[in-house]
Amino acid sequence: MLKHIWKKILAVAVITVLLAGNGMGYITYADDSETTAFTDEELAFIAASDTFKLGYVRDRKPVSFADNNGELAGISRSIFDRISAISGLKFEYVELPDGEVTYDYLMEEGFDLVTGVEYNEENQKAKGILMSNPYLSSRKVIVTKKSLNFDANGRYTVAISTGSQTIRKVFANHYPNFELVDYPSIEDCLTAVNNEEVDLMVQNQYVVEYWLYKPIYEDLTVIPVVELNDLLCFSAVYPFENIDNEDYAQKELLISIINKSIAQISDSEISGYIIDATMDNMYKHTFADVLYQYRFTFILLGIALVFIIVLLYANLHIRVRAINARADAKAKSQFLSTMSHEIRTPLNGLLSLNYLMTQHLDDREKTENYLKQSSSMAQYLLSLVNNILDMSKLQESSMELEHKPFNLELLLETVELIEKSVMEDKQIDFQMDVNLTCSNIIGDAVRIQQVLINIIDNARKYTPNGGKVSVKVRQIIHANDEVMTKAEITDNGRGMDEEFQKKIFDPFTQESNAVSQGNQGTGLGMAICALLAERMGGCLSVESKLGKGSRFTFLFVSKPAPEESEDPLTDSETLTNASAPTHPLHILVVEDNELNGQILSEVLTESGFQVKHVLNGKEAVSAFSASAPYEYDVILMDILMPEMDGFEATRAIRSLNRPDADTVKIFACTANSFKADYDKAMENGMDDFIAKPIKIEELLKKLEQSNSDPDAGNAPDIP
pLDDT at 510: 53
pLDDT at 423: 87
pLDDT at 425: 83
Helices (H), 462-593: 498-501, 525-535, 571-576
Q: How far apart are CA 503 and CA 688, in angstroms?
A: 40
pLDDT at 242: 57
pLDDT at 573: 42
User: For the chain, which residues make up each domain, given as ranges?
Assistant: 2-292, 298-395, 404-560, 577-708
Give the number of residues written for the chain: 719
pLDDT at 368: 80
pLDDT at 433: 94
pLDDT at 181: 87
CA nearest 631: which of 670, 672, 659? 659
What CATH code is assigned to 2-292?
A: 3.40.190.10
CA nearest 113: which of 9, 261, 335? 261
**pTM higher than 0.75:** no
User: 596: Cβ–Cβ under 8 A, 6 or more apart, which residues?
Assistant: none
- State phi, psi for 382 to the nearest 5 degrees: -65, -40
CA dihedral 218, 224, 228, 233 (to 10 degrees): 60
Q: How far apart are CA 510 and CA 526, in angstroms?
A: 10
Residue 282 is classified by DSSP as P
Q: Is 557 exposed, middle or buried (0-12, 13-18, 19+ CB in 10 A)?
A: middle
CATH code matching the domain that covers 577-708, chosen among 3.40.50.2300, 3.40.50.620, 3.40.640.10, 3.40.50.300: 3.40.50.2300
Q: What is the mean pLDDT of each run of 10 residues along the chain (719 residues)?
A: 48 47 40 67 90 85 84 88 91 84 81 82 64 83 87 85 66 80 85 90 81 82 74 79 70 89 87 79 66 71 82 82 72 61 67 79 81 72 67 63 88 86 87 92 87 88 91 87 91 87 71 43 72 88 90 92 56 40 80 85 89 92 93 92 90 93 91 77 90 82 72 42
Omega prior to 693 cis, within 30 of 0: yes
User: 592: Cβ–Cβ under 8 A, 6 or more apart, which residues?
Assistant: 615, 616, 638, 640, 641, 642
pLDDT at 613: 94
What CATH code is assigned to 298-395?
A: 1.10.287.130
Domain 404-560 coded CATH 3.30.70.890: no
The DSSP code sequence of 590-617 is: E-SSHHHHHHHHHHHHHTT-EEEEESSH
- 314-341 burial code (b ≥16 CB/10 A, e <16): eeeeeeeeeeeeeeeeeeeeeeeebeee
3-class secondary-structure state, position 440: strand
pLDDT at 684: 92
Q: How far apart are CA 188 and CA 211, in angstroms?
A: 11
